[in-house]
Amino acid sequence: MEQHRTLSDRAFLDKFVNRTLPPEWFSHEAHLRLAFLHIRNLGVDNAIDTVRTQLKAYVAHLGATDKYHETLTIAAVRAVYHFMLREKMDTLSVHNPDESSLEAFLTLLRRHPRLHTSFRELMFAHYETDIFSSAFAKKEYLEPELLPFD
């Protein structure tokens, strides 16, 4: 099981912001959860700015600034938002009001497994450029050439 799931939303965000979240807990799924929570709380544009800022601070704290990837960070937030819109999970509510944010997030992953299990292929549906190996895409956001996220 993903360790980040043992934390409440507040605890997860606090540990990430305070850089006390163990790096082994910050999996791909945890990245997606971070995007999901910030989109719900801030809207997509502010979520992009917040995720970028927090992720840069987190990797700098770990001494791993080379791990930060601008295009993948922004594209991941936009992809999460796209699927949230498809599920009618707007920025202030969840699909089912009795469902926790974590449950709503996991529901999103179950309904759109490509976000979690086939993320690389999902990105190649949007990008002709191999953004995973592009030095430019790592430093600067590259707009999708094939299919926009919105």
The string of pLDDT tens digits covering residues 103-129 is 999 999 999 999 999 999 999 999 999
More confident residue, 11 or 91: 11
Closest Cα to residue 21, out of 74, 57, 71, 68? 57
pLDDT band at 67; cut points 50, 70, 90: very high
Closest Cα to residue 85, out of 101, 29, 77? 77
pLDDT at residue 88, rounded to an integer: 79
Residue 114: Cβ within 10 Å count:
15
Mean pLDDT over the full length of the chain: 92
Is pTM, for the whole model, over 0.85?
yes
- Please name the residue that has the structure tokens 């995007």: 35
Structure tokens at 67: 């791990």
pLDDT at residue 99, rounded to an integer: 55
- Please name the residue that has the structure tokens 């910050």: 26
Strand, helix or coil at 57? helix
pLDDT at residue 60, rounded to an integer: 97
Are 150 and 82 in contact, with CB atoms under 8 Å apart?
yes
pLDDT of residue 53 exceeding 80: yes
